[in-house]
Structure 1
Amino acid sequence: MSTKRRTFLAGGAALAAVPILGELPANAETLPDYAPIPPSALGPAVNEQGYFVGRVKKNLYWVTDSTYQAAFLTTKDGVVLFDAPPSIGHNLQRAIDQIAAENGVSNKVTHLVYSHHHADHAGASSLFGKHVTRIGHAENERLLARDNDPTRPVPDVTFESRRTLRVGGERIELAYHGTNHTPDNIYIHFPDHDTLMLVDVNLPGWVPFDFFNINEDVPGSIAAPAKALSYPWKHYIGGHIGRLGTRQDMVVYRQYIDDIIAGVKQALAAVDPTPYFAKYGNNAWAAVKEYQAAQVRYASEPVIKKYLGVLAAADVYTATTTFLILESVRLDLGEGSQIHP
């Protein structure tokens, strides 16, 4: 019996001894069906080791495992790496080694730029040792110091608003334009490579992840696409899913968010709260839950219908994104608020 099979069976036996607190799906047939993924949302196939590496432009490359993305720039003085997702892990160095061997350049990572502090994008940073110069926003340093995660060493170099990084004759423009997905998420512009990297804002070809990418600043995240489009670029690295983006992807994403906002504003005016509060009486949370669920349905259903076949998973996460935007429009913008007479 293989080690993997023994481990699986042992784990199953241990699980059987634990009281089941909630019902688990019995098989795939019990799970819900969702709309097919448009082929335009899919990227290149990964290799046997589980990654794809490709050229963005000239000596700028990107790496993906079809769920996460990183990028690297080869220079005469070494490699500059942008993010280190743990799901890609050691395949980052394998991808760099592959490109270095093909092009006769150094495979030594000398710099690592953090897009932001989240572990799913930075959790393989420690693989590159203590002699790599790590760079991030000033808030990135504070957050990583707070988290105290040895897999994500704090940056050695920080900046407040802008910093030009020059390595081996190459130029990278780093900028902070305010909070969006996180308080430290930065814009990484490669002016000589027609490329912008902005992580966890627009995931090209797809709707945002659950609850609007779990964005910490909803108004800041809504404003981010316009800021991104103010840069000159042709290629876009969004940090997730399996393909690069284009300016048209950003335009479509921005329209998707604008459509949700418009629907939310209509829902705030159109959905009557009276029946929900009449039904649930002094159970305020039940009334609010059902009232807001009705608002979300009102706002999200036309958007889902419009973007099915245009953005992957429009039927999966549009409703939760709509809920978070509803709360922001209500609380941050004051839409729908009424002063008691």
Structure 2
Amino acid sequence: MSQVSQLTRRRFCLCCVASATFASGGGWLTPRAAYAEARNIVDMIRTDAATAAIKVHKLRGGVSVLEGSGGNVGVLSGPDGKVMIDAGITASKPRMLEALASLGNEPVRHLINTHWHFDHADGNEWVHAQGAAIAAHENTRKHLKTMQRVEDWDFDFPALAPSAIPTEVFSERKQLTVNRSTIELQYYGPAHTDSDISVHFVEADILHVADTFWNGIYPFIDYSTGGSIDGMIRAADANLAKASGTTIVIAGHGSPVSNRAGLQDYRDMLVTIRDNVARLKKQEKTLDAVVAARPTAAFDGKWGQFVITPALFTKLVYEGV
């Protein structure tokens, strides 16, 4: 089985899988080659998502996580209808419907997009067709309405269909009351992208932080739409401020369920690597020299074992310091 096939079978997001198209020897692909690889990965992810199993993690307070279609999808179930946090990949629709049905027969009434990326919003159209109103930050709406280019692999994402575009948008915060639960939506400012929000189920004390937290793996940072390493650290600080020792934390990728201690480890990793890379870059070292210096070495055993390799994460951090 090829490396790419192994990755798609683990059902990670397009944004991080596509980043693996860099040559295994450490060199960067040409734009033409990167485009071809990214195009193939999009097709492979959609094909895999058509048959991938969806794992259901039941938490508390009527909140569950569906793992296996792009980013980790949160679900609040109850008599007012289901609330979905992200929609995953369209090709997962049959398996997602089965997983949703296992949580009760209530229809989906609300969909919240945590940001614009394909692996979180591709399913918007079919979820809306189920009867869901779509809410998101205003920048998510802006990005989904037009073609979006991600320069790191020379790939253009087309605009979504009109019915897949969020209609309930906000700039800083929004609150919903559904199924006797208070749901607080909070904009981070630019972080993983410029459209990221957290979703806090207040009474259940569950915090969905989406792609501001990659549990056990190095994160992708989308500089093309406003992301940055400093923004990721600010988001990690915001998550720590909101979480207590009893808070359940839902990560965007990696193991879906974590806690405040996991957030702290992640934040400490980001800060240390950012500082290491910044110190080397200040010495006017080239990217290749910084990668060769292995500024991530102390963390690679835990965080560097999947798609975002130590070399690629170093490149992403170098771009932002």
TM-score, normalised on structure 1?
0.68
Task: Give the match for residue 42 of structure 2.
Answer: none
Residue type of the partner of 1:323? K
**Distance (Å, rounded) in 1 between the aligned partners of 2:196 and 2:295:** 31
Aligned in 2, Cα 1:118/1:49: closer, same or farther, shift over 3 Å?
closer
Structure 2 residue corresponding to 1:261, chosen from 256, 262, 274: 274
What residue in structure 2 maps to residue 166 of structure 1?
Answer: 177
Assess if the C-alpha contact under 8 Å between 2:251 and 2:258 holds in 1: yes
Q: Corresponding residue for 2:100?
A: 96
Letter in 1 for 2:296: V
2:188: which partner in 1?
177
Greater RCO (Cα-Cα under 8 Å, separation 6 or more): 1
Paired residue for 2:299?
307
Match for residue 201 of structure 2 among 149, 167, 190: 190
Q: 1:157 aligns with which of 160, 168, 191?
A: 168
Q: Deviations over 1:18-50 (max 9, x none)?
A: xxxxxxxxxxxxx78xxxxxxxxxxxxxxx961
CA contact (8 A) 2:240 2:260 kept: yes
Amino acid at match of 1:172: I
What residue is the counterpart of 2:88 in the other structure?
Answer: 85
Is this contact kept in 1: 2:128–2:164, CA < 8 A? Answer: no
Alpha-carbon offset, residue 66 of structure 1 = 7.9
Q: Which runs of 4+ in 1 moved over 4 A?
A: none
2:79 and 2:106 in contact (8 A); partners too: no
Note if contact 1:119-1:152 (Cα within 8 Å) is conserved in structure 2. no
State how far apart, in whole Å, the 1-side matches of 2:235 and 2:265 are. Answer: 14
Kindly indicate which of the two structures has a greater share of residues assigned to strand. Answer: 2
Give the AA of the match of 1:140: T
5+ residue gaps, structure 1, are: 1-30, 33-47, 101-105, 274-290, 330-341
**Within 5 A, what are the aligned runs for 1:279-290?**
none
Matches within 5 A, 1:1-341: 50-65=53-68, 68-86=71-89, 88-100=92-104, 106-130=105-129, 131-147=131-147, 148-150=159-161, 153-209=164-220, 212=221, 216-218=226-228, 219-233=230-244, 234-270=247-283, 291-298=286-293, 301-304=294-297, 306-313=298-305, 317-329=309-321
* Structure 1 position 224, deviation (Å): 1.0
- The letter of the residue matching 1:134 is I
- Name structure 2 gaps, 5 residues minimum: 1-23, 26-50, 148-158
Kindly provide the CA deviation profile for residues 28-84 of structure 1, in whole angstroms up to 9, marking residues without a partner as x.
xxx78xxxxxxxxxxxxxxx9611101122200000018631010012111011101
Taking a change above 3 Å as real, the CA distance of residues 109 and 53 of structure 1, as seen in their structure-2 partners, is same
Go from structure 1 to structure 2 and tell me whether the alpha carbon gap of 1:250 and 1:84 turns closer, same or farther (over 3 Å shift). Answer: same
The one-letter amino acid of 2:87's match is A
Q: What is the aligned partner in structure 2 of residue 17 from structure 1?
A: none
- Given that 1:225 and 1:250 are in contact with CA atoms closer than 8 Å, whether structure 2 keeps it comes out as yes
Corresponding letter in the other structure for 2:292: R
1-side partners of 2:119 and 2:256: how far apart? 18
Any idea what SS the aligned residue of 1:238 has? strand
How big is the shift at 1:264? 1.6
Q: For the structure 1 residues 60 and 293, does the alpha-carbon distance in structure 2 shift closer, same or farther, using more than 3 Å as the test?
A: same
Q: In 1, Cα distance between the equivalents of 2:67 and 2:300? A: 25
The CA deviation at 1:262 is 2.1
- C-alpha change, 1:265 and 1:309, in structure 2 (3 Å) is closer
Could you say if the C-alpha distance between residues 269 and 159 of structure 1 is closer, same or farther in structure 2, counting changes exceeding 3 Å? closer
Aligned to 1:286: none
Letter in 1 for 2:316: L
Equivalent position SS for 2:309: helix
**Relative to structure 1, is the Cα distance of residues 140 and 66 closer, same or farther in structure 2, using a 3 angstrom cutoff?**
closer
- Partner secondary structure for residue 173 of structure 1: strand
Measured at CA, do residues 242 and 252 of structure 1 come closer, stay the same or move farther in structure 2, by a change above 3 Å? closer
